Amino acid sequence: MRIACAQVNTVVGDLEGNLALVRDAVRAATARGASLVLTPELALTGYPPEDLLLRPSFADASREALEALAADLTEGVAIVGFVEHDEDVHNAAAVLADGRVQAIYRKRFLPNYGVFDEARYFRAGDSPMVLDVDGARVGVVICEDIWYPAPVAAELAEARLDVIACISSSPFHLAKGDARERMLQTRASDSAAALAYCNQVGGQDELVFDGRSVIIDHSGDVVARAPMFEDHLLLADVELDLAAGRRLREPLLRRLPRPGGPDPVAVEVPARGAVAAADDGEAASDLAAVPCEEGELWGALVLGVRDYVGKNGFPGVIIGLSGGIDSALTAAIAVDALGPDRVRGVAMPSVFTSGQSTDAAAALAASLGIRMDVIPIAPVVDAFEEQLAEVFEGRPRDVAEENLQARVRGTLLMAISNKHGDMVLATGNKSEMSVGYSTIYGDMAGGFAPLRDVSKTWVYRLASWRNRDEGREVIPQATIERAPTAELRPDQRDSDSLPAYEVLDPILEAYVEQDLPPTALVERGFPDDVVRRVIGMVDRAEYKRRQGPPGIKTTPRAFGRDRRMPITNRYAED
Whether residue 525 is predicted with pLDDT greater than 70 in this model: the reply is yes
Q: What is the pLDDT of residue 25?
A: 97
Judge whether residue 504 has pLDDT over 50: yes
- What own/partner pairs with CB < 8 Å and gap ≥ 24 does 154-157 have? 154/256, 154/259, 155/128, 155/259, 155/261, 155/264, 156/128, 156/130, 156/191, 156/193, 156/264, 157/190, 157/191, 157/192, 157/193, 157/253, 157/256
pLDDT in tens, 471-494: 999 999 999 988 877 666 777 777
The closest of 553, 502, 563 to 176, measured between CA atoms, is 553
> Would the pLDDT of 283 be above 50?
no
The predicted pLDDT at position 29 comes to 96
- pLDDT of 387 reads 94
CA distance 47 to 574: 39
Angle of the 456-470 helix axis to the 325-338 helix axis, nearest 10 = 50
Band the pLDDT of 274: cuts 50, 70, 90.
very low
Q: Which of 267-271, 331-335, 526-530: highest mean pLDDT?
A: 331-335
pLDDT in tens, 96-115: 998 999 999 999 999 998 89
Q: Give the active site residue among 107, 456, 544, 553.
A: 107
Per residue in 47-64, pLDDT (tens digit) is 999 999 999 999 999 999
Please report how the helices 325-338 and 293-311 are oriented relative to each other, as an axis angle in degrees rounded to 10. Answer: 70
Q: Identify the band that residue 272 occupies on the pLDDT scale cut at 50, 70 and 90.
A: low
Q: Answer whether 361's CB lies under 8 Å from 347's CB.
A: yes
Mean pLDDT of 498-503: 90
How far CA 10 is from CA of 45, 215, 315, 449, in Å, comes to 8, 21, 20, 22
For residue 320, pLDDT beyond 80: yes
Digit-coded pLDDT (tens) for 343-400: 999 999 988 877 888 899 999 999 999 999 999 999 999 999 999 999 999 999 988 9
Q: What is the 3-state secondary structure (H, E, C) of 314-330?
A: CCCEEEECCCCHHHHHH
Residue 387 sits at φ, ψ, to 5 deg, of -70, -25
Q: What is the mean pLDDT of the segment spanning 257-281?
A: 55
**Angle CA 222–227–230, to nearest 5:** 150
Q: Which of 5, 118, 143, 158 is catalytic?
A: 143
- pLDDT, the chain, mean: 90
Q: What is the pLDDT of residue 182?
A: 96
Query: Which residue has better confidence, 264 or 364?
Result: 364
Q: Are 171 and 553 in contact (CB under 8 A)?
A: yes
pLDDT confidence of residue 319: 98
CA distances from 486 to 270, 323, 406, 447 (A): 66, 10, 9, 21
User: Are 373 and 319 contacting, i.e. CB atoms less than 8 angstroms apart?
Assistant: no
Known active-site residue 143: yes
Query: What pLDDT is stored for residue 149 in this prediction?
Result: 87
Per residue in 355-371, is it b (16+ CB within 10 Å) or e — as a string? eebbebbbbbbebbebe
Residue 271's pLDDT is: 53
Closest among 104, 102, 107, 80 to 91, alpha carbons compared: 107
- Whether 266 shows a pLDDT value over 90: the answer reads no
Considering the candidates 5, 41, 75, 456, report the single residue annotated as catalytic: 41
Q: What is the pLDDT of residues 406-456, one digit of tens each?
A: 999 999 999 999 999 999 999 999 999 999 999 999 999 999 999 999 999
Q: What are phi and psi of 464, to 5 degrees?
A: -65, -40
**Residue 241: Cβ-neighbour burial (10 angstroms; 0-12, 13-18, 19+):** exposed
Asked if pLDDT for residue 67 goes beyond 90, the answer is yes
**Helices 378-392, 399-420: inter-axial angle, 10-degree rounding:** 130
Q: Is the peptide bond before 259 cis (omega within 30 degrees of 0)?
A: no
**Domains of the chain in sequence order:** 2-269 (3.60.110.10), 293-494 (3.40.50.620)
pLDDT on residue 250: 64
> Please, which pLDDT band fits residue 285 given cuts at 50, 70 and 90?
low
Mean pLDDT confidence for 329-347: 97
For range 260-271, the mean pLDDT? 61
Rounded Cα distance, 213 and 200, in Å: 8
Residue 431: CB atoms within 10 A of its CB come to 24
180, 172 Cβ separation under 8 angstroms = no
Q: How far apart are CA 137 and CA 160, in angstroms?
A: 8
Residue 323 neighbours by CB under 8 Å, 6+ apart:
347, 353, 354, 356, 357, 358, 359, 360, 361, 364, 479
